């Protein structure tokens, strides 16, 4: 995963050079996830969700799939890029305030990941929460909402090492939280 390209802006769905990282509320445990692959944007139904964000994601090759940080890919969730490589819009409604930063053996959070083909656009917070309200100003200066998502390839071994180090530090910080 291109962790060095993560744009943390809204605190829920963090677009990357390709794909996106979804931030859960719990620290450790399982969550309930449903996925929808659509032809166009669905109507917004905020009543059932604590928070909703939309981001642009790019599929560069292969399947755009849901997997966990432990590289577990649920078999019952569809590929999210049936039209192949290209740009998609991802709406992520969630319910993740039950046990923030906690540990749960039973799933206590719900996510619906809806994806449809669409040219890149700015990220949008449709329904906010305390977690999103805290993340937006915290990431305002460090995470531009840039939809070009172009990350140049490393020119030399030093640049490749620097990127590997950044990725390792990000992964450690995610595991420590």
Q: What is the pLDDT of residue 95?
A: 87
- Residues with pLDDT less than 50, the chain: 143-155
Overall number of domains in the chain: 1
Q: What is the pLDDT of residue 88?
A: 93
> How many C-beta atoms surround the C-beta of residue 114 within 10 A?
19
What residues contact 137, with CB distance under 8 A and at least 6 apart? Answer: none
What span, in angstroms and rounded, lies between the C-alpha atoms of 95 and 102?
14
Q: What is the pLDDT of residue 165?
A: 56
Parent domain of 115: 3-176
Q: What is the pLDDT of residue 29?
A: 83
By the 10 Å C-beta count (0-12 exposed, 13-18 middle, 19+ buried), 24 is classed as buried
Q: Are 118 and 147 in contact (CB under 8 A)?
A: no
State the Rg of the chain over Cα.
16
Q: What is the pLDDT of residue 114?
A: 93
Q: What is the pLDDT of residue 160?
A: 56
Q: What is the pLDDT of residue 102?
A: 80
How much is the pTM?
A: 0.71
């Amino acid at each position: 995963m291109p962790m060095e390209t993560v744009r943390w802006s809204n605190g829920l769905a963090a677009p990357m050079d390709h794909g996106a990282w979804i931030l859960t509320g719990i620290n450790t445990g399982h969550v309930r996830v449903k996925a929808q692959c659509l032809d166009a944007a669905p109507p917004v139904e905020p009543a059932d969700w604590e928070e909703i964000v939309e981001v642009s994601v790019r599929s560069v090759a292969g399947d755009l799939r849901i997997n966990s940080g432990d590289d577990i890919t649920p078999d019952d969730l569809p590929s999210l890029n049936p039209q192949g490589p290209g740009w998609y819009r991802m709406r992520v409604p969630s319910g993740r305030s039950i046990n923030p930063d906690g540990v749960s053996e039973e799933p206590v959070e719900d996510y619906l990941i809806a994806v449809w083909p669409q040219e890149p656009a700015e990220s949008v917070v449709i329904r906010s929460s305390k977690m999103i309200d805290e993340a937006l100003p915290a990431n305002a200066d460090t995470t531009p909402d840039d939809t070009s998502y172009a990350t140049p390839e490393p020119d030399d071994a030093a640049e490749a090492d620097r990127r590997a180090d950044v990725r390792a530090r990000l992964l450690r910080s995610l595991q420590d939280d």
